[in-house]
Amino acid sequence: MEIKKPAVAGTLESSDCMVTVEPGQGQVDLDLDSAVIRQYGKQIRKVIRETLDRLDVSNAKVTVVDKGALDCTIKARVECAVYRSNDIKDNLPWGGVIK
């Protein structure tokens, strides 16, 4: 999937994360800021990379600010941000909430 335009998903509440995707410069650049980066930084990066791979995203700038989200939450937020950058809002429960 191509990242056509910047898109955001998630919040900065505790147990959540905010994911921003923007068009890349030929590869995936991942910028991670996490409240638990020392213990879980590696694991969080892995979840983000795997989710992007599954969506076939190979060219993007991805910024994640994590406030202690679980893997399932991180995965859902990354997916949502990618879909939004492609204007896919149908069949997403949060579609249209964030403009």
- Which residues contact another protein (rule: CB under 8 A)? 9-16, 35-36, 39-40, 67-68, 70, 72-73, 76-77, 80, 93-94, 97-98
Enter the DSSP assignment of 1. -
Pairwise CA distance, residues 57 & 62, whole Å: 11
Which token pair is 82?
């990618």
Decide: helix, strand or coil at residue 49.
helix
Nearest-approach distance from CB 1 to another protein, in angstroms: 20
Nearest-approach distance from CB 57 to another protein, in angstroms: 20
Nearest-approach distance from CB 62 to another protein, in angstroms: 18
Nearest-approach distance from CB 43 to another protein, in angstroms: 9
CA–centroid distance for 88 within its chain: 15
Pairwise CA distance, residues 85 & 8, whole Å: 8
Q: Which is nearer to another protein, 15 or 27 (CB)?
A: 15
Q: Which is nearer to another protein, 26 or 93 (CB)?
A: 93
